[in-house]
Amino acid sequence: MTSRFSPGDPVIYSVTKQSVHPGPRARSVAAAGTGDVYTYVVDKFWRVKKVLENGDLLLVTRRGKEHQVNPSDPLLKRPSLLQRWLLASRFPVVTGKD
């Protein structure tokens, strides 16, 4: 099974969050029925650390946390060339260590 992702590739993962005060990067903001809590989506800029044997991706955040994600997850996407250039500082640097 081949993956369309390789180690070192930058990826954008859309995370759904809830809070009282959405941040400046929040999009698709929707208020709850009472208006006390908001549900919104935030894009996370991660990098592929490793393609696992089962085909899943091991993604790493800028702070070093790791997430295992299926490459067919609809919340996962490749950044466009323009996004890679404009948002380069938001993607973590992956070292060769495992």
- 42 within 8 A of 14, measured Cβ to Cβ: yes
Q: How far is CA 17 from the centre of its chain?
A: 13
State the virtual CA torsion across 19, 25, 28, 31 in degrees, nearest 10. Answer: 30
* Dist CA 42 CA 56 (whole Å): 22
Provide mean pLDDT across the span 32-59: 91
* Dist CA 51 CA 15 (whole Å): 21
Domain ranges of the chain: 10-85
pLDDT digits (tens, 9 = 90+) for 42-53: 999 999 999 999
Considering 1-5, 34-38, 52-56, the range whose residues carry the highest mean pLDDT is 52-56
Predicted local distance difference test score (pLDDT) of residue 87: 86
Predicted local distance difference test score (pLDDT) of residue 1: 46
Helix (H, G, I), strand (E, B) or coil at 92: coil
